[in-house]
Structure 1
Amino acid sequence: MLNKTASRSFYLNLWLGLVGLVVGIFAGFAVGISPALLLVAIVAVAGLIWFFASFEQAVIGLLILRSSLDLFSAQQLPAAFAIALNALTILYVLVALLTGKAVKIDKFWWFFALWIIFQSLWVILLPLGGLGMDASFLMSGVRVWLRYFSWLMVYLLVMQLKDNVPPEKIVSMLLLSLVAPISIALLQIFLPSSMLPSLLTSQGKAGSNVSGTLGFPNGLGIFLTMFIALVWWKLSISSKRLPWLLLLGLVSFVFVRTGYFTGLVAVLLLILFINSTKITPVRAIGVVLFCCAFLWMFASTEFGQQRLTEIYDTPLLNPNIDVSRSIILSYGDSNSFNWRIAHWTYLINAWSQFPILGYGLDTSPLLGIRDFNTGSGYAPHNDYIRFLVEQGVVGLTGFLCFLVGQGWYLVHLLRNSQSVNSRRNLCLILIALFVANIVSMLTSNIMDATTFFFYWWTLVAIAGWGNEYWRPNLATKSA
């Protein structure tokens, strides 16, 4: 036993010595290039020490911080954050392996990792000429793959909190991630643009819609869909309901001001799904009142009225408009539904040229409708068509298998959590969110919602912890 401990200590000291050597070399070069780089190195080392010295607090702090970063996308801060988080997670795992500490991984993580490896196929095939685009688009594909990989690392990092932090505490702390987006969104709602900093007006609004710190209204809408569900979860396990009801009202108010129409349907599905397992007169009345209030808030906005009117001028509800006419109308009527039909038609026509493996990751914006003024393309606004065009039939099949695997895993967790209400309610909420998302993927760019998935995989990792990690005394009430 003593020899084993000494061996671990030797490898840890060796690793620390190597890190110190690398830091010393970098610091020497940094001084020669720019004193500012030396400051960055010092801050990075200090952050690294803090990460290992206060691991649980550091991870929770990083989780909370993520919702504030998209406002600085032009400065590449979210990308830098993701790369740093990936590096920290890998470093933590390496140190744990060198010191003999257990690395906590569940079976679903391996399934997730298998899908990430599968995605790398399109990164490899692109420079080899196996796809519809050439190697000049490689960096775009690498960027998308790294985004997917960062979600896997978030899942792995959160799993390391197991045994150290109660799951209810982590989920509750995640609600602090609402502070920055909601605060900025309220400023965008109640203050004129002339009074807002340029950073908030350049990315903060699209017409009358707000985006908080998420950079785009739909991004904030997708993000708030999840947190409406989490507030509902807190409502289900708390004896004091009034504060959570007030927070639910505030989040819902900001949500409707994003103008995220698809999210409106998603939230209604979410609430109905969550409450479908236990119907009581009081609950039924509460759900009806909430849905009516939610619809009224959306319909009372100018954008909401416009969106509801647009539906009647699409093939969906108007028998006098077919797909061809919808495409023609999309050029002049500013109807986003007709625009989507036209965009999808062009994308599917492009897909027919490379149906098996597609064109490559992040190439779909180049294949559909493009902006006449800038020449830039648009995201597909349908994640199933995205995978079909970018990865062909093979990639779409893999994506659907990944979704089916997620659904099966969440149902499995729900069945195993019946004895602990707080865990069961969280699993039920995750299933409801999952159903809402696979529906929203029909008309939205859900897979582009990096911040949403950062928290989604955090919650899925936590829900996978066994019942013994959840405190039954907090689960005395079911919403």
Structure 2
Amino acid sequence: MFFSLFASILISGEVVESFKVFIRYASYLVLPLFIYNLIRFIKVDVAFVFLALIPYILLPFGKFYLVEELTGLSRYSFVFSHPNHFAYYLVPIAAYFLFITKRDYVLTYSFAFSAVLFMLLLSKSSGGIFVILVLILYKYRTKLVRPSGLFLLATISPLLFIFGFADKFLDQIMFLNQINLSDLLSRDNLGGSGSLSWRLVYWLMILKSFFDSDILHIIFGNGLATMSYGSYAYSFMYTDPHNDFIRILVEQGIIGLILFVLLLVLIIRKFKILSMPLLILIFMPMFIGNIIVNPVFVLLTIVGFLDLYRKQYYEI
């Protein structure tokens, strides 16, 4: 963190903006510890069940839905500005019920997990649904070849069907079959009917601009906050990159990206048999979203795995 701060100040000269990002990242270390120590006395499990059920209170009210202009889909966003941000809230909670809760109250946790899955479907977040599907398949990977695997397939097959044949997902796949990404890139054209094609073109445009810069910026980056609204590094940018690896690469350079990935790997290795679920939960959303600048996702993920760490080393 200190390396990123000083490199950012030296490269960009933006002292205030660099310190803002530094403080945000520092709060990711402090705030979850504070929240965790508040709620662990009433059990983190209970708090997460409560969080899973809260969205149902506002479900009947239409003003909490967002209608997409291109697809016409109505998506539930709860109290968040966008349904994808709602998915960032739901995914860590679902992962918690899948891998961290003790099985003292199996029915309660199973009900809460099902409630979260239903909310994910209403948010129509392709990325969120895909991450949870991968986590489910990983958890029950050995049971899929047993008779009991039939029950699992019968349980998740409706989810697979909805995800695989939803109009939104099909539109994106069909659009990708009809376009030439290199042509769109050459014309800086971000048009398209799907978020998948938009992401691919946007990422390529950012990477092209980054690697066209001088070697100093490639190694050390353009500075913290240069991938944030109001101070984007490139003139064509109008929103965050929706890929945190690209964000870190552009902001902190090749060295910063290497250090960040090494840090994550060291943390993930501390969780023994649950290292792979944590790897999926962090790396997959980072690849398709703006996770490290989303405090809700970061807070819930760290609180959940703090609880796992305590159970793993002090109680189990």
- TM-score, structure 1 as length reference: 0.56
What secondary structure sits across from 1:458 in the alignment?
helix
Deviation at 1:386, TM superposition (A): 0.8
Q: Which has the higher contact order (CA 8 A, sep 6+)?
A: 2
Kindly indicate whether residue 160 of structure 2 is the aligned counterpart of residue 290 of structure 1: no
Within the candidate set 66, 81, 93, 1:227 is matched to 93
In 1: Cα distance, 2:144 partner to 2:24 partner: 40
Within the candidate set 247, 260, 263, 2:125 is matched to 260
Kept in 2, the 8 Å contact 1:172–1:234? The answer is: no
Q: Percent identity?
A: 22
AA at the equivalent of 1:121: F
Structure 1 residues 467, 389: closer, same or farther in 2, change over 3 A?
closer
Kindly indicate whether residue 217 of structure 2 is the aligned counterpart of residue 347 of structure 1: no
Within the candidate set 15, 19, 27, 1:150 is matched to 27
What secondary structure sits across from 1:205 in the alignment?
strand
2:170 aligned partner: 308
1:175 aligned partner: 49
Deviation at 1:356, TM superposition (A): 1.1
2:262 aligned partner: 401
AA at the equivalent of 2:130: V
What secondary structure sits across from 1:364 in the alignment?
coil
AA at the equivalent of 1:313: F
In 2: Cα distance, 1:233 partner to 1:183 partner: 26
- Aligned residue pairs, count: 303
Within the candidate set 329, 332, 335, 2:194 is matched to 335
Deviation at 1:153, TM superposition (A): 0.9
Out of 353-362 and 249-258, give the one that drifted further: 249-258
Deviation at 1:258, TM superposition (A): 1.5
Deviation at 1:451, TM superposition (A): 0.7
Structure 1 residues 209, 433: closer, same or farther in 2, change over 3 A?
farther
In 2: Cα distance, 1:263 partner to 1:340 partner: 16
In 1: Cα distance, 2:235 partner to 2:133 partner: 31
Deviation at 1:326, TM superposition (A): 4.2
Kept in 2, the 8 Å contact 1:326–1:341? The answer is: no
In 2: Cα distance, 1:238 partner to 1:289 partner: 25
2:222 aligned partner: 359
Kept in 2, the 8 Å contact 1:346–1:367? The answer is: no
* Unpaired runs of at least 5, structure 1: 1-118, 194-199, 371-375, 415-427, 473-479
2:271 aligned partner: 410
Structure 1 residues 172, 286: closer, same or farther in 2, change over 3 A?
farther
Kept in 2, the 8 Å contact 1:368–1:377? The answer is: no
Kept in 2, the 8 Å contact 1:221–1:255? The answer is: yes
Deviation at 1:142, TM superposition (A): 2.8
Deviation at 1:230, TM superposition (A): 2.8
Structure 1 residues 410, 277: closer, same or farther in 2, change over 3 A?
farther
1:211 aligned partner: 77
2:309 aligned partner: 464
In 1: Cα distance, 2:157 partner to 2:219 partner: 45
2:182 aligned partner: 324
Out of 228-237 and 434-443, give the one that drifted further: 228-237
In 2: Cα distance, 1:311 partner to 1:369 partner: 29
Structure 1 residues 266, 240: closer, same or farther in 2, change over 3 A?
closer
In 1: Cα distance, 2:257 partner to 2:100 partner: 36
AA at the equivalent of 2:18: G
In 1: Cα distance, 2:46 partner to 2:93 partner: 11
Kept in 2, the 8 Å contact 1:144–1:362? The answer is: yes
Deviation at 1:165, TM superposition (A): 4.0
Deviation at 1:294, TM superposition (A): 1.1
Deviation at 1:276, TM superposition (A): 2.5
Kindly indicate whether residue 3 of structure 2 is the aligned counterpart of residue 121 of structure 1: yes
What secondary structure sits across from 2:287 in the alignment?
coil
Structure 1 residues 145, 325: closer, same or farther in 2, change over 3 A?
same
Q: Deviations over 1:31-78 (max 9, x none)?
A: xxxxxxxxxxxxxxxxxxxxxxxxxxxxxxxxxxxxxxxxxxxxxxxx
In 2: Cα distance, 1:350 partner to 1:313 partner: 25
Structure 1 residues 235, 384: closer, same or farther in 2, change over 3 A?
closer
Deviation at 1:443, TM superposition (A): 2.0
Kindly indicate whether residue 105 of structure 2 is the aligned counterpart of residue 247 of structure 1: no
Greater C-alpha radius of gyration: 1
Within the candidate set 424, 441, 455, 2:300 is matched to 455
Kept in 2, the 8 Å contact 1:326–1:338? The answer is: no
In 2: Cα distance, 1:346 partner to 1:269 partner: 29
RMSD after superposition: 3.1
What secondary structure sits across from 1:248 in the alignment?
helix
What secondary structure sits across from 2:141 in the alignment?
helix
In 1: Cα distance, 2:299 partner to 2:162 partner: 28
Structure 1 residues 278, 444: closer, same or farther in 2, change over 3 A?
same
Q: Deviations over 1:226-255 (max 9, x none)?
A: 2223333588614552x5444333321210
* Unpaired runs of at least 5, structure 2: 69-73
Deviation at 1:159, TM superposition (A): 7.1
What secondary structure sits across from 2:175 in the alignment?
coil
Kept in 2, the 8 Å contact 1:211–1:220? The answer is: yes
What secondary structure sits across from 1:209 in the alignment?
strand
Structure 1 residues 253, 368: closer, same or farther in 2, change over 3 A?
farther
Kindly indicate whether residue 146 of structure 2 is the aligned counterpart of residue 274 of structure 1: no
Structure 1 residues 368, 322: closer, same or farther in 2, change over 3 A?
farther
Structure 1 residues 161, 217: closer, same or farther in 2, change over 3 A?
closer
